[in-house]
Amino acid sequence: MSWLSDLLDPGSLPARSLTRRRDTRLTLLAAAGFAGLLWLLEGWAGGYVVHMTTLAGLFVVLAVSYNLINGVTGQFSLEPNAFVACGAYVTALLTLSPAEKAASFILEPLVWPLSVICLPLPVALLIAGLLTALMAFLMGFPVFRVRGDYLAIVTLGFGEVIRVVANNAQSVTNGPLGLKGITHLTNVWWAWGLCAFTLFVVMRLVNSSYGRALKAVREDEAAAEAMGINAFWHKMLAFTISAFFEGMAGGLLAHLITTISPSLFTFFLTFNLLIIIVVGGLGSTTGAVLAAVLFTFGGEWLRVVEEPLNILGLHIPGIPGMRMVIFSLILVAFMIFARQGLMGRAEFSWRWILASRRGRRGTP
Amino acid sequence: MDSAQALQQLINGLTLGSLYALIAIGYTMVYGILRLINFAHGDVLMVGCYFAWFGAVQFGLPWWVALMGSMVLTALLGVLIDQGAYRPLRKAPRISALITAIGVSFFLENLGLVIFGGRPKAFQRPEIFNQLYQWGELRVLSLSVWVPIITAVILAGLMFFIYRTRQGMAMRALSRDLVTVHLMGIDTNRVVALTFALGSALAAAGGIFWAMKYPQINPLMGVLPGLKAFVAAVLGGIGNVFGAVLGGLLLGLCEIMLVAFLPDLAGYRDALAFVLLIGFLIFRPTGIMGEELPE
């Protein structure tokens, strides 16, 4: 296995490019390994585990794109529920068959072009992503005129407005009844495929000159402007890209849970994503991945506190809703005691892993 | 629409606006001093309503005793939240404190769901607020008349406190410059605690009248009034108590007018506050009374 040792130890050979090639190979190797794992999981694990794994993939997409605007660019905003809702509704409306739509829209018929359109999922997803990005682009003009906590409140307001519109625009969204009978099309491959795509784009962006500009805007907007960075357009860039991926993830989410209604896209969704990126470390993309997976499975694991328990004959009744209490305490505790989160602003890197491995072997 | 109906809508708008104003004062006072959006304010209001409900229903107290008791307990809760969750973050970046506030808000909501259950509880109107006044065409619930009056009395008391007492002076000084005031020997922490206590007590009062208006309470009832009252505080110019009152009245009147004149759009009334907010932040970011620009 000489190629493997070459891979792990580029030795004294010069050049960053070699390290970079090694990193790329290792990443591809890890991705292939992970895909194999998913394949095994899909074949052997129960439907529940597969469902949770799919959901984890979608949460990773959402967390990574939310982190792009909140963590990397430092623009604290609270709107992902609006983008996810937009993506979910657009995709669902495009993929549902005309017959299904006619059956769902009982109070008011669906408006014309939507009532006859029926598109395959990939096309619908792309359209949803682009439309959500367009919405973010238009939203950005008023929103980025303010900063700091005002930005948080205005974006929160937008999220609320979208929900109210979804509740009231009967002839497009079917109001509070929502859309039912969406085909279950999202599987692990869709979710983790989108995840790989998102990670590829976001990582490339963050490590490019644009990414450095985004971080400069986060650290000191005035200084960044003085260096010739147009802060407004860089914020718009991050915002639009994050909306694009959140919209697509919303579309996949709709095809995973098969029923959507406005009550699904409340501030609650944003709150969950906020916990994820805070615990992962605001500004760390790999931290967001780690925390999203932890959150999805940790949330399931925490279900024990909601179920009745018998410990040594002691009966503890389950308390429904206790999970969210614990989650909010975790958020506050992280803010007070570990503001940098699990990863801080650091990123996972192969050099880091290899260095610790070498360190254990005792070679310098 | 004839004049009786118009007057009726005006009274409704004033009532709603007074409630927003009572809640908005807490936001604006805390923001003025700490530059923190106390996200949990709406949920503090909810807890206040439950205190009053327990007082009135479980212990059979008269309504005004329940109201006073709830205001005191809610003030304590506000101080507790400040000391427990916000005080450790005084020197941290402002966004950290905001995230903590969001966490506290969710904590209160979910704890409320766990303890009180999600089912709404009926909130009885006391007899004095449950009468129907009638003058010709005009029919008004006595609550709608009393709420603006009580609000005005509370506001007069608050204004006296802020502008005529030493504690109020300390508060105003703090909102100018926290660090310098501390250096001049004022126990800033105590003044901040006092601010939270006052704001929370007013929120409890606002919340209880809100609960009497829609006679029921539930653990998520504080979310919308909280957000809208914040919008009211921004409309009036955040940090300015008088502005918060103006903003609250303006928002209440606008909402009622939307429902009255454009009934087709009544479903969008919850979005109106945010549309107003966005408009204000673009065209007049300092609000009606504000002086300084938001960051």
Q: What is the ipTM score, two decimals? A: 0.86
CB-nearest to B98 from A149, A158, A324 is A149
3-state helix vs strand vs coil in chain A, percent to 5: 75, 0, 25
Of the candidates B88, B95, B273, the beta carbon closest to that of A76 is on: B95
Q: What is the pLDDT of residues A9-36, one digit of tens each?
A: 555 445 567 778 888 888 889 899 999 9
Separation in Å, CA A56 to CA A190, A266, A293 = 12, 19, 5
Chain B hits for A164, Cβ within 8 Å: 267-268, 270-271
How does pLDDT run across B171-203, given as a tens digit for each residue? 999 988 888 998 998 899 999 999 999 999 999
Chain A interface includes B277 (CB < 8 A)? yes
To the nearest whole angstrom, how far is the Cα of A257 from the nearest Cα of chain B?
24
**Residue A7 corresponds to which tokens in the numbers above?**
């891979």
pLDDT-derived band at B294 (thresholds 50, 70, 90) equals very low
| Residues of chain A numbered 256-275 and touching chain B (CB < 8 Å) | 267, 271, 274
Tokens (6 digits) for A166 = 């979804």
B256 within 8 A of B13, measured Cβ to Cβ: yes
Contacts A331 to B, Cβ<8 Å: 99-100, 102-103, 106
Domains of chain B: 3-283 (1.10.3470)
Contacts of A150 in chain B (CB under 8 A): 234, 281, 285, 294-295
Q: Is the pLDDT of residue B287 over 80?
A: no
Contact with chain A for residue B95, Cβ under 8 A = yes
User: What is the chain B residue with the closest CA to A154?
Assistant: B278
Name the more confident of B204 and A146: B204
Residue of B nearest to A338 (CA): B96
Q: Is B271 in the A-facing interface, judged by CB distances under 8 Å? A: yes
What is the average pLDDT value for chain A, to the nearest integer?
86
Q: Does B270 touch chain A (CB under 8 A)?
A: yes
**Chain A contact present for B227, CB below 8 A:** yes
pLDDT of residue A1: 47
Record: contact A168-B88, CB cut-off 8 A: no
DSSP secondary structure, A7-69, as one string: HH--TT---HHHHHHHHHHHHHHHHHHHHHHHHHHHHHS-HHHHHHHHHHHHHHHHHHHHHII
More confident of the two residues B103 and B278: B103
Helix B188-213, helix B41-53: angle, nearest 10: 60
| pLDDT tens string A294-320 | 999 988 888 877 777 666 666 666 677
User: Chain A interface, mutation test: which of B108, B268, B274, most A Cβ atoms within 10 Å?
Assistant: B274
pLDDT digits (tens, 9 = 90+) for A73-89: 999 999 999 999 999 99
Stretch 157-196 of chain A: residues touching chain B, C-beta under 8 Å: 157-158, 160-161, 164-165, 167-168
The whole-number pLDDT of residue B218 equals 92
Task: Test A335 with B294 for CB contact under 8 angstroms.
Answer: no
Of B203, B13, B5, the closest CA to residue B108 belongs to B203
> Does the CB of A338 have a partner CB in chain B at under 8 Å?
no
CA–CA gap between residue B220 and residue A272 (Å, rounded): 17
The reply to whether residue A164 touches residue B103, judged by beta carbons under 8 angstroms, is no
List CB contacts (< 8 A) between B96 and chain A. Answer: 335, 339
Chain A residues within 8 A of B110 when measuring between CB atoms: 321, 324-325, 328
Measure CB to CB from residue A332 to each of B35, B103, B111 and give the nearest one: B103
Domain residue ranges of chain A, discontinuous segments joined by +: 19-264
A331 and B102 within 8 Å at the Cβ level: the answer is yes
Determine contact: A156 vs chain B, CB below 8 A.
Answer: yes
Residue B223's H or E segment, with its range, is helix B223-236
Q: Which residue of B has its CA nearest to A337?
A: B88
pLDDT tops 70 at residue A130: yes
User: How many CA atoms lie less than 13 Å away from B73 in the CB half-sphere?
Assistant: 17
Say how far apart CA A64 and CA A141 lie, in whole Å: 23
B98: helix, coil or strand? helix
Report which residue type is found at A172. V
Instruction: Answer whether A138 touches B (CB < 8 Å).
Output: no
Measured between CB atoms, does B115 come within 8 Å of chain A?
no
Q: Given this model, what pLDDT does residue A364 score?
A: 41
Is residue A153 less than 8 Å (CB to CB) from chain B? yes
Measured CA distances, A175 to A98, B54, B177, B251 (Å):
18, 36, 49, 26
What pLDDT is recorded for position B295? 43
Kindly report, residue by residue over B203-226, the tens digit of the pLDDT: 999 999 999 988 889 999 998 899
Within 8 A of A160 by CB-CB distance, chain B residues are 227, 270-271, 274
Determine the pLDDT at residue B291: 58
**B19-61: per-residue pLDDT in tens?**
999 999 999 999 988 888 898 999 999 999 999 999 998 888 8
Contact assignment for A325 to B111 by CB distance below 8 Å: yes
- Greater confidence (B219 vs A146) lies with B219
Distance (Å) from the alpha carbon of B114 to chain A's nearest alpha carbon: 6
Q: Which positions in chain B touch A320 (Cβ < 8 Å)?
A: 114
The alpha carbon of residue A5 is apart from the nearest alpha carbon of chain B, in Å, by 45
Position A153 scores a pLDDT of 85
Query: Cα-atom radius of gyration of chain A, to the nearest Å?
Result: 22
DSSP per-residue codes, A303-353: GGGGS-EEETTEEE---TTHHHHHHHHHHHHHHHH-TTTTTTT----HHHH
On whether any CB of chain A is under 8 Å from the CB of B285, the answer is: yes
CA distance A161 to chain B (A): 5
What pLDDT is recorded for position A224? 94
B115-133: average pLDDT: 86
Confidence at residue A82, expressed as pLDDT on a 0 to 100 scale: 95
Q: Which residues of B touch A274 (CB under 8 A)?
A: 99, 102
Report residue A350's pLDDT band, with 50, 70 and 90 as the boundaries. confident
pLDDT band at residue A362, thresholds of 50, 70 and 90?
Answer: very low
